[in-house]
Structure formats: C-alpha cells, structure tokens
Amino acid sequence: MSYPFQIKSLEQYHIDYKKSLEDPEGFWSGVADSFEWRKKQPFSKKGLDWNFTEPSVKWFEGAKLNITENCLDRHLDSIGDRPAIIWEPNDPNEKVRTLTYKVLHKKVCEFAQVLRNNGVKKGDRVCIYMGMIPELVVAVLGCARIGAIHSVIFGGFSAQSIADRLYDAEAEYIITCDGAFRGAKDIPLKSIIDDALIGNRTVKRVIVHTRTRTPVSMIKGRDVWWRDEVEDVVESMHEEVLKVPAEEMDAEDPLFILYTSGSTGKPKGVVHTTAGYMLWTTYTFVNVFQYNPGDVFFCTADIGWITGHSYIVYGPLLAGATCLMFEGIPTWPDAGRFWDIVDKHKVNTLYTAPTAIRSLMSYGMDPLKDKDLSSLKVLGTVGEPINEEAWHWYDEHIGKKKCPIVDTWWQTETGGILISNLAGVTPAKPSWATLPLPGVKPVLVDEKGEEVTELTDTHYSGNLCLTMPWPGILRTTWGDHERCRQTYFSTYENKYFTGDGAFKDEEGNFRITGRVDDVLNVSGHRLGTAEVENAINMMAGVVESAVVGYPHELKGQGIYAYVVLDGRNRHEEDDQLTKQDLLATVSRIIGPIAKPDKIQFVSALPKTRSGKIMRRILRKVAEGELENLGDTSTLLDPAVVDEIKEGKI
C-alpha cells in the first residue's frame, strides 16, 4: 500500500494547497485514481458541480463504486493477513481479538447477506446501537456493502432520543447488542431499544448481538439473534457468500446519516455521500497523521460520533491501516489504562480529546509510572479547543517531546479534518489548529459577513466560514434540505458557516476559539442549549428554563441551567431532591451526557421588553463574572438580575 497523494514536505503542502484551490476537479480526480471504481467515467469530465445557494454539492456524480470494496476487497491480495482491527476489551484480562483484512471481509460479506435475508435493501435506513466491539464495524460495513444507509446512535443516548431519530430517519431496521461493557457498568442496550420501540410501527426487524449476556426480551417476528442469522448464511452458502457482489452505488448516493445537535431544539441528521466522504477520510487520515503502512493507529473516540466513523472505521480501513479499537473507558480499572494499551499493542499514533487529556492529567504522574510509551510517534487531539497546559502535558509526558501533536479541527458536517498541522511536515503551534488542508478555503467574517481585514493585536478575529466545497462536506440534512440551507448556508451569502469563532495570524494559522452559536461542547460532545432546555421543560412543575455553557476545568464546557418552577413544586427544603428529579428527567429525555452540571432555581428569567431571554447576562453569572454584566437597561425587570446574582450557587 502506498499513498501517491501523501504530502511529505512543507513545500509540497504549499504546492498541493495551491493546486487544490486552482483546479479542484483535477486535483481530486488525481486522488480518486488511487481507489477502485466500478465505473470511473464520467467523473473525469465533470468532477465537481456546486453552488452554496440551494445548496447543492456533487463530486464525481455518475461514477460508480462500493466503498466497502475499497475498505476491504482491494486489500485482500496485498495485505489480507495484516490486522485491520485489534480489539482491546473493556476487561484487560479478557482476550484481545485481532481481525485481519481477510477475516473482516468475510464477516462483512456474511453480515451483508444477513441483512439481505432480513429484507434490507439499498437506500433503507438501518439504526445501529451497539457498544465498541468489532461487530459494530461489521454492522456498519455490512450496511454499506448492500447500499443501506446506516445511522449509528451513541450508547449514551436515551430511549426517547433513539425514538426521535428512528422516527426522523424512518428507519425500519435496528442492529443492537444485549448490552455493552463500559468500565464497571453494563449498559442494557436492548432494553433501551425496547423502550424506544414502544408505539413504533415502522421498525420491522431488530438484530441482536450477544456481548454481555444480560437477559433480554426477544419478540417473535421482530427480534432475531445475530449469531443464528450468521449461522444460517454460513450453513447455506459457505464460501459462496464471498462471491455475492456488493451493491453498485453512485458516487453521490448517501452512505450514512449521523444525528448532531444544532442551535435549535431537534438534532438533525447530517447526510454524507459515498465517494467524496471516501476520498476525504482517506486523504486526511494519511496526511494529517502521516500514516505509514504497518503503524498501529489508536483513536479513542466512540463510533457513535463522527470521529469514530471517519478515523476508526472508514479512513483507516480505506488506507489499509491497522486500527486499535477499545471497548472501555480511560479510567478503568485505573487511570493508566490508555498507557497500558499503548504499551501492550505498541501503538504508534494516539488520537484523543482534550477532555480525556485533562481528566488523565488530574490523576497526576502516578498512572504513568512504569509506562514505556516509546512506541508513540504521533499524537492527535480533536473535538474542542485544547488549552496550552494540556497541550504541554501531552507533549512532555506522553509524547516525551519527540512526537508531533496534530490539533485537528473539524465537525460532523465536514466529514473529516479541515484545519490541522500535518504531523512532522507542517509546524505545530500549541493550541492552534494551524493550516487548512488542501481543498479547504477558510475565511473569517464579521457580523455583516464582510471578510475581516483589520488586525486585533497580532491576529484577525471573526466567524469561521468556508467558501468552497471539499469532497467530504455534508450534502443535506435528512428529510429537510431547507434546514440544511438555513443552518449552514444562509447566515452569510455563498459561504458555509461553521458556527465557530476563530483567530488567524499573519502566517495564515487558525486558532479555533469555540462556538459562537447556541451549541455547547461538553467533554467534546455536542449539545444544543435549546435541546437541553426542551428536556428540562418537560419536567412537571417547570415553567421555563434557560441553559448556558460555562468554562469547566475538565469538560471544557459545563452545562448551567436556570430553572423557573411553579409555586406548587417549589419546596425550598427539597431543592436537592427537585434537582435530582431534574437530572433524572434530562437523562430520560436526552441521555446522561446532557445532565446539567449546575442548576439554579430562579423566580424569573431576565428578559427584554420584547420577551427575549438575555443570555448574555446568564452566561456572565454562570462564568462567575458578577460585576461586569454590561447594559441591563433594556430589561423588563432589572430586579430579576439581582436575585440571580445573589442566589448564585
């Protein structure tokens, strides 16, 4: 496996960057030559067709392929016996599983046939709710093999959240597990699915894999065991199953839906298509991490998030890499677990989130005692801004000052990394994501959408937009294209608006400062303030609420909720109990990841005379800045602010 598109020097980066902007079609057609196509034409004629007004973005439309043939089949002759996935179980004493490309290919072919036998067809939506086990990868690729659209839901979401997503995607099939091991916990996934299915009339089939052997209810005619279904295929087809052709897909056919939070209440289904996503994940994987064949790559994300989709499943497998997949959590059985895994499997690249780094830092140096870590060559971070202290700790104590750190900025909507240094090739700058990748044209704009040209101190500061499409950009939001237009393409004309604020220095490096919209980033997990408010407002006795983010030492951002209760439910002495009820309610509606860190009961929210909640003030109070609240003269009732200030917890 070699990568003709791998950038090997700073000079080459500049050349490729320029080429990619001047002739995007030519540039990406060149990269596309490294892949297997059923039919390459006509993309060499019309590689890219786009406008950001509808919006409509089409890369290589008319060309045909199946992404799993690129992930698996094309590697069989050359690296078929190389590990594709090394799986480290939650319990360090349980056996490691290694799946070579040949083994993974066989499992995917068999499971694709299971899906066919159960009636799944091209274009059908399949919801996947599983723990971090190799079968999750098999399920994802099994769907892609037959052209079904997968929608993976993170295990930390509640039954209600799953039900909303099933309804929105009109999913007819579910793949799940009896349960999932995470640290000392056993999460009853199937039981949560059963709750999500109460009243659902669309789902026809639930395929259940056994992992924890937690007792589950199995409903005749709807629920089937994964193992039985695979056995049927193996017994009836034997090796023939390997010859069943994968579905031929158009370059622009949808590959998956992934739900993510925005500034409005309901999460939206971000849609990625086949060829563009394939190119983008491979290209960014190889270049950002400077992956070399044979290296062991460890991405600590969950496949329920975009990072897991792009840098555990698709990017690494497309590049023929060896990917380490970890079922558990960084602090179990102790806070040295990541470092044990690095040593046990001789990990070369570690890709994790600042929140994990900060949390491990807080345990001090003890967990690092007797850890070797000398196999590490490259470190990466993703998901939120990394503070300098965490960056230096990562550099000194994990990378021993010899591993480049890549600070990778991107989003669910971008499919893969957009702004990052390239390990050892372009320079790093602590807490800066640095330079855009080829194909990416970022610009900072002011409130009016004008490009920022005035320096503030040593840098430009503005809202981060992208002015041309790269292959991995989202194509739509499922079932509601207008929402996609509104959310990303209507704030500034002819630009994709990221929702992030950023600085840019005079060398063209970017530093992402965080969201400027009502999206929270809690431990690297995206949540909408409106989404959390809706959940709080569902509790009996709540009149209204306002949710803001505040700086949190470990999580990056914490959730601060101001809640107005009606008199009947307000028993001062029971405040603690009421708060617990509130947490239980939010857990039930969205999931444990959305539980507020702080709750303050107030008699009213600060509102303008036109009834708008003044979040600016709430944010300041949450940040502990009680003195400097700015202009409060437009408030309907300024006394409310005094009460909020006094009652601050």
Binding residues for ligand WTA (CB under 6 A):
260, 305-307, 382-385, 407-412, 433, 498-500, 512, 514-515, 521, 526
Q: Which residues of 109-120 are buried (b: 16+ CB within 10 A; e: fewer)?
A: bbbbbbbbebeb
Secondary structure class of 484 (helix, strand, coil): helix
Q: How far is the CB of 464 from ligand WTA (least distance, A)?
A: 9
- Which residue number, 115 or 593, has a Cβ lying nearer to ligand WTA? 593
- Which residue number, 283 or 409, has a Cβ lying nearer to ligand WTA? 409
Task: Give residue number: closest CB to ligand WTA.
Answer: 412
Angle (CA) 528-314-311 rounded to 5° is 60
85 near 298, Cβ under 8 Å? no
**What phi-psi label fits residue 583: left (phi over 0), alpha (psi between -120 and 50 degrees) or beta?**
alpha
Query: Half-sphere exposure of residue 441, counting CA atoms within 13 Å on the CB side?
Result: 16
- Antiparallel, parallel or unpaired: β 459-466 and 442-445: antiparallel
- Which residue number, 154 or 173, has a Cβ lying nearer to ligand WTA? 154
Q: How far is the CB of 644 from ligand WTA (least distance, A)?
A: 27
Angle (CA) 569-573-579 rounded to 5° is 60
Q: How far is the CB of 134 from ligand WTA (least distance, A)?
A: 23
- Which residue number, 150 or 309, has a Cβ lying nearer to ligand WTA? 309
Q: How far is the CB of 289 from ligand WTA (least distance, A)?
A: 14
Q: How far is the CB of 423 from ligand WTA (least distance, A)?
A: 14
Query: How many CB atoms lie under 10 A from the CB of residue 576?
Result: 9
Rounded distance between C-alpha atoms, residue 60 and residue 32, angstroms: 9
- Which residue number, 182 or 511, has a Cβ lying nearer to ligand WTA? 511
For residue 44, give both structure tokens. Answer: 């060499």
Q: How far is the CB of 355 from ligand WTA (least distance, A)?
A: 11
Q: Which residues of 293-331 are buried (b: 16+ CB within 10 A; e: fewer)?
A: eebbbbbbbbbbbbbbbbbbbbbbbbbbbbbbbbbbbbb
- Which residue number, 251 or 417, has a Cβ lying nearer to ligand WTA? 417
Q: How far is the CB of 442 from ligand WTA (least distance, A)?
A: 13
**What phi-psi label fits residue 457: left (phi over 0), alpha (psi between -120 and 50 degrees) or beta?**
left
Q: How far is the CB of 258 from ligand WTA (least distance, A)?
A: 9
List the 97-100 sheet strands across, edge first. 97-100, 83-88, 322-326, 296-299, 349-352, 378-382, 405-408
- Which residue number, 60 or 496, has a Cβ lying nearer to ligand WTA? 496
Rounded distance between C-alpha atoms, residue 323 and residue 80, angstroms: 14
Q: Among 584, 588, 594, 595, which residue's Cα sits nearest to residue 195?
A: 588
**Which stretch of DSSP H or E encloses residue 111?**
helix 101-117
Q: How far is the CB of 646 from ligand WTA (least distance, A)?
A: 33
- Which residue number, 34 or 498, has a Cβ lying nearer to ligand WTA? 498
Q: How far is the CB of 551 from ligand WTA (least distance, A)?
A: 14
Residue type, 473: I
Q: Among 342, 369, 277, which residue's Cα sits nearest to residue 315?
A: 277
Q: How far is the CB of 353 from ligand WTA (least distance, A)?
A: 9
Residues 6+ apart with CB under 8 A from 204: 119, 172, 173, 222
- Which residue number, 527 or 644, has a Cβ lying nearer to ligand WTA? 527
Q: How far is the CB of 528 from ligand WTA (least distance, A)?
A: 12
Rounded distance between C-alpha atoms, residue 467 and residue 50, angstroms: 11
Q: How far is the CB of 610 from ligand WTA (least distance, A)?
A: 30
- Which residue number, 404 or 499, has a Cβ lying nearer to ligand WTA? 499
- Which residue number, 292 or 513, has a Cβ lying nearer to ligand WTA? 513
Q: Among 325, 335, 385, which residue's Cα sits nearest to residue 355?
A: 385
Q: How far is the CB of 524 from ligand WTA (least distance, A)?
A: 7
- Which residue number, 99 or 444, has a Cβ lying nearer to ligand WTA? 444
Rounded distance between C-alpha atoms, residue 266 and residue 167, angstroms: 12
For residue 37, give both structure tokens. Answer: 């196509």
- State the distance between the two ends of the chain, measured CA to CA, in whole angstroms: 58
Where do the H-state alpha helices sit in 394-545? 481-484, 529-537
132 near 152, Cβ under 8 Å? no
Cis peptide before 24 (omega within 30 of 0): no
- Which residue number, 241 or 440, has a Cβ lying nearer to ligand WTA? 440
